[in-house]
Amino acid sequence: MKAHKKEMVTAQAPGKLMLLGEHAVVYGRNCIVTAVDAPVRASVSPSDEFYFDARDLGFSQAVDVRESDFPKQVAFAAFAVKNFCERFSITAPVRIATESIVTAGRKVGLGSSASVTAATIVALSHFHSKNMSRQEMFELAFKTVLDVQKVGSGFDVAAAIYGGTLLYRRGEPAPLKCDKLGLVIGYTGIPASTVDIVRQVAESIRNQPDYYEGLFDEINRIVINGKKAIESENWQALGELMNQNQGILRKFRSPSESCGVSSEILESLIKAALDAGAYGAKLSGAGVGDCMISLAPEEKQESVADAITKAGGTVISCLANVPGARIMGEGN
Ligand code: MEV
């Protein structure tokens, strides 16, 4: 076995928030995603066996990475190791330790599965001195996420690897210049399963394909206008587009006939934010639960946050438009 030059390598990858375009992006349309400061770290070190440590999830044990049915706490990291080792024909075992730096990030739907996958691949690539481009790391991480959860557009993986704010179409991230996004984020208190919701929507599409094609085209138009609004820093226009996007998400016929992929709690947080002076507000992600986002002028952000709290939400403070996955350090 070739001796490793490095003792331990740690990488960190950010979380994500969908600004515009969820669901439609699964069907080939564009979306806009921003990377948020809810990072996950992965450390790789030499070991006698493939060993996984996700202490914040109560998991610490050896895992056979030749398998593909992994314990759910480490499924993304383990599949990332499996795919990386297969890609580079590596057999030397490693120990992988993962942790969510903002613990809440794991629970509120800010993309920890994609982040842990990205951080693991970036750390492995550095540890094994493989000079992978961002696109190569993105492709391997996206494959890994699909291996585990079978569905998804990869927008969260793109945010984790590239960071910043991206116009994204399946497999094609394009960075957008976006410095002053005044987001106020509200967590509904209800964890949502992206995979379940995406499957429910897929079922509904099977029954009414033309109806959904129309909605997705409309969302795509909103996203393209959103790109222009961001580029010209027209926040009022971006807020209005967020409201239009939310209006279309309500027209989905699944999971709920009356409000689509939205829900009562999302609607009350969105209304509270708008009443308190936000330019625009919408759900962010698959819907039903997890988070809503609102865009507000600086002087209104505090009252919007108070209104979200009064309506029963938890305000999540984290920066948007943060850098993508990077190496944090090497050594013991
Ligand atoms: C979930 O956060 C966003 C969806 O568009 C799924 C995806 O793009 O992978 C619903």
pLDDT band at 54 (very low <50, low <70, confident <90, very high): very high
Domain containing 217 — which CATH number? 3.30.70.890
232 and 153, same structural domain? no
The 10s digit of each residue's pLDDT in 147-179 is 999 999 999 999 999 999 999 999 999 999 998
Tell me, what's the pLDDT at 105? 52
The yes-or-no verdict on residue 292 having pLDDT over 60 is yes
The catalytic position among 37, 53, 156, 275 is: 156
Q: Which residue's alpha carbon is nearest to atom 9 within ligand 1?
A: 152
* Alpha helix ranges (H) inside the chain: 75-88, 104-107, 112-127, 134-149, 155-162, 194-207, 209-231, 235-250, 264-275, 301-310
Domain count, the chain: 2
Taking the C-alpha atoms of residue 173 and residue 326, their distance in angstroms, rounded to an integer, is 18
Q: Are residues 174 and 188 in the same domain?
A: no
pLDDT in tens, 183-215: 999 999 999 999 999 999 999 999 999 999 999
Closest CA to 107 of 191, 211, 215, 212: 191
Range of the domain at 101: 9-178+321-327
- pLDDT over threshold 50, residue 118: yes
Query: What local confidence, expressed as pLDDT, does residue 10 receive?
Result: 97
CB of residue 111 inside a 6 A radius of ligand 1: no
Q: pLDDT value at position 5?
A: 57
In a domain, 3, yes or no: no
CA of 111, closest atom in ligand 1: 2
Q: Is residue 217 part of a domain?
A: yes
Name the average pLDDT for the chain. Answer: 95
pLDDT above 50: residue 1: no
In a domain, 210, yes or no: yes
- 120, 81 contact by CB (below 8 A): yes
Q: How confident is the model at residue 330 (pLDDT cuts 50, 70, 90)?
A: confident
Q: 84, 52, 88: which is closest to 71 by C-alpha?
A: 52
Query: Do 303 and 208 share a structural domain?
Result: yes
In a domain, 87, yes or no: yes
* Mean pLDDT calculated for residue range 284-295: 97
Q: Is residue 2 part of a domain?
A: no
Catalytic residue list contains 210: no
Interaxial angle between packed helices 112-127 and 134-149, expressed in degrees from 0 to 180 and rounded to the nearest 10: 130
Distance (angstroms) between ligand 1 centre and the Cα of 194 equals 7
Amino acid at position 61, single letter? Q
Contact call for residues 314 and 189 (beta carbons, < 8 A): yes
Pocket test for ligand 1, best of 112, 156, 200, 252 (most atoms within 8 A of CB): 156
Task: Report the interhelical angle of 112-127 vs 155-162 (nearest 10°).
Answer: 50
With respect to residue 23, please indicate whether it lies within any of the assigned structural domains: yes
**Same-domain status, 195 and 111:** no
Tell me the CATH number at 50.
3.30.230.10
List 11's β-bridge partners, or say none.
42, 327
Choosing from 16, 20, 25 the residue with most ligand 1 atoms within 8 A of its CB, the one to mutate for a pocket test is 25
For the whole model, what pTM was predicted? 0.96
Whether 31 maps to a domain, the answer reads: yes
